[in-house]
Amino acid sequence: MAMFCITLFASCSLQQKIGNSAQKNVLQAPALQTAHIGISIFEPATNKFWFNYQGDKYFVPASNTKIPTCYAAMKYLGDSLVGLMAGVDNETGSLLVKGTGDPTFLHPDFPSQPVYDFIKKENRPVVITNPNFFERSLGSGWSWNDYNEYYMAERSPLPLYGNVTHWKMLQSAFTVAPRFFQDSLQFPPLDFAGIGSQDTIKRTDRHLDIRRKKEANKYEVTIGDAAFTEAEIPFETTNIATLAQMLSDTLTLSVQTAYNKWIYHRQKIMSQPTDSLLKPMMHRSDNFFAEQSLLMVSNTLLGVMSDQKIIDTLLKSDFRDLPQKPRWVDGSGLSRYNLFTPKDFVSILDKMEKEFGMERIKEIFATGGEGTISNYYKTEAGFIYAKTGTLSGVVALSGFLYTKRNKLLLFSVLVNNHQSSSMEVRRAVEAFIRGIRNDY
């Protein structure tokens, strides 16, 4: 009885101390006075929560949504990504290929391109077949006005070059990669702001920008907010003929589409190590990699690429025991329709640690001074591994923390509806997390 009372008192004391710190650093912080906040701190070794403040309430998690996506990819995509399904058409001798959703194909971040090498070595006409893709290019609840922004590259079954164009200004001339889009640049009439052709750029000191038409791969020179140097702009992916032409231009091979073709004697063409995709996904919060990762999991488990189908499957299997059933709609967290609780994230992190181990997690999650926390937790490098999340009015941080006494904690701090700068909110959360590491 006495031991029970001591344990209960210690537990209450711990919660009270952390609660006082949460009040001081987060709940009463000037930047968070009107915000909605949820906090969960959990110790897996004892299977006990050290602290909960609205841990069972739902919040828009922004890019913390990449945590369940990462879990699914770690579990189901194997050691290496399937970059392509391929086979030879016995009638025509063409190489039949089927996309798997792999976002690394021809992506500039991956110099080694096994899929490209395979197709070139085959040296046959290429026919793209039915990809079993059941998604729109932009996700449910995304801000469609942002279609021109680099962070909202379109989803597709056979991505090329990260589904993004890279524009630069070199010696007063615009250049683009892939070069396929060089002739897609349009200039306004001569009477528009004094800019009428490539030549007039040399004579104008106006600030410029490039925007893509919403539903076409036509790029226009416009007036911008700053002098143009470079830009990454998603290209439109729904026109399959354009993608076939782009691939043909890259491969210098004939590329056609024929969705009624079936690949017999299919072989898997492997591309990149899985974790080489997941690391940048988590470090720089790459939305495109996250979206395509979830579609690849769907393709692997269900034979189709569908967010709705794979999310429903995962919620009924791997995530059936989450404390609160989340509303989960995309892979990246771009959608404000996503709703998770802090306890949900702690539960998923617990699954990660138990199933994959901390050594693998440390390779995928960013630590202090890296990735999206490059300006935070620098003195905690090697002791914190976390994922950020940011939307207008939303700041999130969930991950793993080693205390000074080498206790491993799982934590999730979700902030919604703040009206301060994200940096102010992050500094308040940083003070709270640092206090837990130093005090325990």
3-state secondary structure the chain: CHHHHHHHHHHHHHHHHHHHHHHHHHHCCHHHCCCEEEEEEEECCCCEEEEEECCCCCECCHHHHHHHHHHHHHHHCCCEEEEEEEEECCCCCCEEEEECCCCCCCCCCCCCCHHHHHHHHHCCCEEECCCCECCCCCCCCCCHHHCCCHHHCCCCCCCCHHHEEEEEEECCEEEEECHHHHHHEECCCCCCCCCCCHHHHCCCCCCEEEEECCCCCCEEEEECCCCCCEEEEECCCCCHHHHHHHHHHHHCCCEEECCCCCCCCCEEEEEEEHHHHHHHHHHCCCHHHHHHHHHHHHHHHHCCECHHHHHHHHHHCCCCCCCCCCECCCCCCCCCCCEECHHHHHHHHHHHHHHHCHHHHHHHCEECCCHHHCCCCHHHCCCEEEEEEEECCEEEEEEEEECCCCCEEEEEEEEECCCCCHHHHHHHHHHHHHHHHHHC
* Residue 20 predicted with pLDDT over 50: yes
Closest CA to 217 of 195, 201, 240: 240
Give residue-wise pLDDT tens across range 197-236.
555 554 455 678 899 999 999 999 888 788 888 999 999 9
Nearest to 308 by CA among 133, 129, 71: 133
Model confidence band, residue 307 (pLDDT cutoffs 50, 70, 90):
very high
**Selected residue with higher pLDDT from 4 and 122:** 122
CA 117, 122, 124, 128 torsion-angle sign: negative
Would you state the structure tokens that stand for residue 128, as one six-digit string?
A: 């793209």
pLDDT score of 52: 97
Q: Are 32 and 428 in contact (CB under 8 A)?
A: yes
**Residues across the chain:** 440
**150-208 pLDDT tens trace:** 999 999 999 999 999 999 988 778 899 999 999 999 887 654 444 555 555 544 556 78
Tell me what pLDDT residue 263 has: 84
The domains of the chain, with CATH numbers, are 20-76+274-439 (3.40.710.10), 160-236 (no CATH)
Q: Which of 273, 181, 191 is nearest to 231 (CA)?
A: 181
Task: Give the tens place of pLDDT for each residue, 396-433.
Answer: 999 999 999 999 999 999 999 999 999 999 999 999 99
Residue 237 and residue 240: Cα distance in Å, rounded?
A: 7
**Residue 3 confidence (pLDDT):** 41
pLDDT tens by residue, 52-103: 999 999 999 999 999 999 999 999 999 999 999 999 998 999 999 999 999 9
Give per-residue pLDDT as tens, 252-293: 999 999 988 888 888 999 999 999 999 999 999 999 999 999
Q: Quote the pLDDT of residue 196.
A: 54
What's the whole-number average pLDDT of the chain? Answer: 92
**Which residues, in sequence order, are CB contacts of 264 under 8 Å at separation 6+?**
87, 90
Residue 241 CB coordination number (10 Å) = 10
Straight-line distance from the first to the last Cα atom of the chain, in angstroms, rounded to the nearest whole number:
26
In angstroms, rounded to a whole number, what is the distance separating the alpha carbons of residues 237 and 292?
14
Each residue's pLDDT tens digit, 361-394: 999 999 999 999 999 999 999 999 999 999 999 9
Q: With 80 as the cut, is the pLDDT of residue 23 above it?
A: yes
pLDDT of residue 7: 43
* 2: confidence class by pLDDT, cuts 50, 70, 90: very low
Q: Each residue of 320-355: pLDDT tens digit?
A: 999 999 999 999 999 999 999 999 999 999 999 999
